[in-house]
Structure 1
Amino acid sequence: MGPGPRAGARPRPGGWPGAEAGRGERVPRLRRVDCSGPGIARRRAGRGFVYLDENGKRIADPGVLDRIRALAIPPAWTDVWICPLPGGHIQATGTDARGRRQYRYHDIWRAHRDREKFDHMLEFARLLPDLRATCMHNLSQRGLTRDRVLSCAVRLLDLGFFRIGTEGYAEQNQTFGLATMRKRHVEVSRNVVTFDYKAKNGKRRIQSIVDPQVVSVVTALKRRTGGGHELLAYRRGRLWVDVRSADINAFIRELSGAELTAKDFRTWNATVLAAVALAVSERATSATGRTRAVARAMQEVAHYLGNTPAVSRSSYVDPRVVDRYRSGLTIAAALEGIGEDVEMGQPSTQGAIERAVLALLTDDDVELPVAA
């Protein structure tokens, strides 16, 4: 990941502080920009496009045109706005074919946000054991109470890597996440809960969860006669209250005392899976071999998350896992006792494996094996 302002830094008047780009080269000073203000417009001309400045004059400057081309704005976008400043934190916006507003951010801005996101994951990993323990305590209670049902939702996020889903997306696209799952999407057989549903981008997802507490709660939720068609709901007196995505995120913050979200579970689990996959990969003696090992690891992560290897690497897996692997460091030693310190139903990647990943990411003073 490229250099950027330190995590948590606030912009100084006039823009974000510059960062060293290597070999003494200064990167541009970034500025927050308002994409509702004047900017460069795109107009179709024959098979291509022309670009007009704030005054409606056609742009001919090669440097400006090169910057615009480098943004790779999809031809299908309409109502395109392009930042007139090369250091604007938003470089372009447009509306895609499905009517959604999309953004192109400056590379340095994106690197800064990525750094913040993955540093946030370290806090998440440290808080996760207590969060799990609280949820397991709630799951051991009786009845479909708020805390028990929401703890079941958190447990499912932890075990199944679900997207949280939003009510609007389910209504518009008929695609579902955990918060919008319908009872018809779930089957219970002995000690297994199986989810069969249409996920993001219309992909069919089939996920099975083996966990006694989850089975108990989901069975009761599926059998209930009150409430709506959604799976997740809890009793409040004589009424049923549907669980929404905001409720799950608020509950996670309530239990952890930190600004954690449902997506953090996918990000952390993706990072752990990648670390394990790289640790068990065959010995690579060349840069090409290591590149292939990284590609295979991302394919495995993508399989569990239900997305593409490219998305797994760019949005979920902490890049420090790959950096450490290329430097010869993995969590291989921790894999020798994999699963020994986890309870029945827990993934074997929890416990000691997660602690090893956290040590790998933080450069803690622990013994890390050289990649074999």
Structure 2
Amino acid sequence: MRRSDVGGPGIRRRRAGRGFVYLDADGERVTDTEVLSRIHDLVIPPAWEDVWICPFPGGHIQATGIDQRGRKQYLYHRKWRDRRDQEKFDDMLRFARALPRLREHVERDLASPRTKFVQGHHRRRRSVPDREEDDMSSPRVLAAAVRLLDRGFFRIGSEDYAVENETYGLATMRKEHVTLLDGGMLRFEYPAKHGAQRVQRVIDPEVASVVARLKRRRGGSPELLAHRRGRRWHDVTSADINAYIKEVIGEDFSAKDFRTWGATVLAAVGLAVSGAAHETKTARKRAVARVMREVGHHLGNTPAVARASYVDPRVIDRYLDGLTILPALELLGADPEDTAIQGEVEAAVLDLIEGHESAYVAQAEELLATTA
């Protein structure tokens, strides 16, 4: 592997008839079959313009080009991607260890005696001494946003995508995209990435109280998430949410880490309860495929994307070796989706990934002993 110089000499692509020809740095046509085979294997999108191809097969960036929206895109060497993916999942484990601290902070910022959610009466306006919007401070609204990321598998969303494509994520969601139901349930229905219509449900009375106030606020933009400062409303952006996360846990973590960790935990639980860990190799592979479909559904992605980009591969490797978090789930004796045992389930997943398959059993036993 070597670092590519995308501003240096390289191979250029030129359209010829229904296909392309490739020219080296001297403008001569490339005829070497090995080089042409490497270029073919890169599968460079035909629509890309101003294509540059690395002259070296070991360059970390193998090709660049300008897509139809005028954005520069990159194709990386497979080994480089594998290395970065490993780093991403190692960073994810550090994020998982920091999550309890973040959740405690979110809980404190959400707490307010003036905003208690009354089950079944989310449309009823409470009488409070001051304007009810006065406690819609930046920390409280940001805490609600982070809680939704933690429990809802949301993409954070891009302000540019919302304007250009009318597709949305959590930070760009509009008031019209969310409905409040009984029991502290929130129903989100909106056009997501690639134009797919997404429906997501989250049960959280504390967040429902915040969202109810945001929906009926007077003033501000049509976006759902906003905080009040003085007499004015200010939209919450994806940068605001990421800054909140970074400020609390002090590292370069962001909203996207919730999706990676959430997908990994969901996969670990799904594989554990699949009942196929000690069956045939074929049965285990079928179980993996089924769980990836489930994870992809929660993420709003295909099973292939869920497996390649979100689920830590070590969870699948352990499962294929017959190891799951099932012993911990059986000891906890509760629905693994119950937020009351969320931390214990996640601790079991961490131990499984790191190869401490007996540690989470001991931890679950200790928890049972203290709660007996």
User: What TM-score results when the alignment is normalised by the length of structure 1?
Assistant: 0.86
Aligned to 2:352: 360
Residue 76 of structure 1 is aligned with which of 47, 50, 54? 47
CA, structure 1 residues 346+230, in 2 after alignment: closer, same or farther (shift >3 Å)? farther
Aligned to 1:16: none
Q: Within 2, Cα distance between the matches of 1:293 and 1:154?
A: 32
Q: Within 1, Cα distance between the matches of 2:294 and 2:91?
A: 24
Q: Deviations over 1:210-241 (max 9, x none)?
A: 11101100001111102111111111122212
- Please show how residues 73-112 of structure 1 align to structure 2 within 5 Å: 73-112=44-83
Alpha-carbon offset, residue 306 of structure 1: 0.6
Residue identity matched to 1:234: H
Q: Does 1:127 align with 2:120?
A: no
Q: Does 1:248 align with 2:241?
A: yes
% identity of equivalent residues: 61
Aligned to 1:180: 172
Q: Within 2, Cα distance between the matches of 1:120 and 1:290?
A: 28
Alpha-carbon offset, residue 362 of structure 1: 1.2
Give the aligned length: 338
Aligned to 1:289: 283
Aligned to 2:305: 311
Q: Which runs of 5+ in 1 are unaligned?
A: 1-29
Root-mean-square deviation (CA, aligned residues, Å) is 1.9
Aligned to 1:20: none
Alpha-carbon offset, residue 72 of structure 1: 1.6
Q: Does 1:42 align with 2:13?
A: yes
Aligned to 2:193: 200
Q: Within 1, Cα distance between the matches of 2:66 and 2:340?
A: 43
CA, structure 1 residues 125+113, in 2 after alignment: closer, same or farther (shift >3 Å)? same
Aligned to 1:230: 223
Specify which structure has the higher proportion of helix: 2
Q: Within 2, Cα distance between the matches of 1:75 and 1:285?
A: 45
Q: Within 2, Cα distance between the matches of 1:341 and 1:319?
A: 24
Aligned to 1:60: 31
Aligned to 2:118: none
Q: Within 1, Cα distance between the matches of 2:39 and 2:345?
A: 44
Q: Within 2, Cα distance between the matches of 1:327 and 1:233?
A: 48
Q: Secondary structure at the match of 2:209?
A: helix
Alpha-carbon offset, residue 337 of structure 1: 4.6
Residue identity matched to 2:48: W
Higher alpha-carbon deviation: 67-76 or 160-169? 67-76
Q: Secondary structure at the match of 1:350?
A: helix
Q: Secondary structure at the match of 1:351?
A: helix
Higher alpha-carbon deviation: 216-225 or 35-44? 35-44
Q: Deviations over 1:25-81 (max 9, x none)?
A: xxxxx2222323321111222333211101110011111112111112122322211
Aligned to 1:26: none
Q: Is the 8 A contact 1:341 1:351 kept in 2?
A: no
Q: Does 1:335 align with 2:353?
A: no
Q: Secondary structure at the match of 2:342?
A: coil
Residue identity matched to 2:25: E
Q: Which runs of 5+ in 2 are unaligned?
A: 115-134, 362-372
Q: Deviations over 1:301-321 (max 9, x none)?
A: 001011111111111110111
Q: Is the 8 A contact 1:42 1:51 kept in 2?
A: yes
Q: Secondary structure at the match of 1:154?
A: helix
- Please show how residues 101-180 of structure 1 align to structure 2 within 5 Å: 101-141=72-112, 142=114, 143-180=135-172
Higher alpha-carbon deviation: 146-155 or 128-137? 128-137
Higher alpha-carbon deviation: 158-167 or 360-369? 360-369
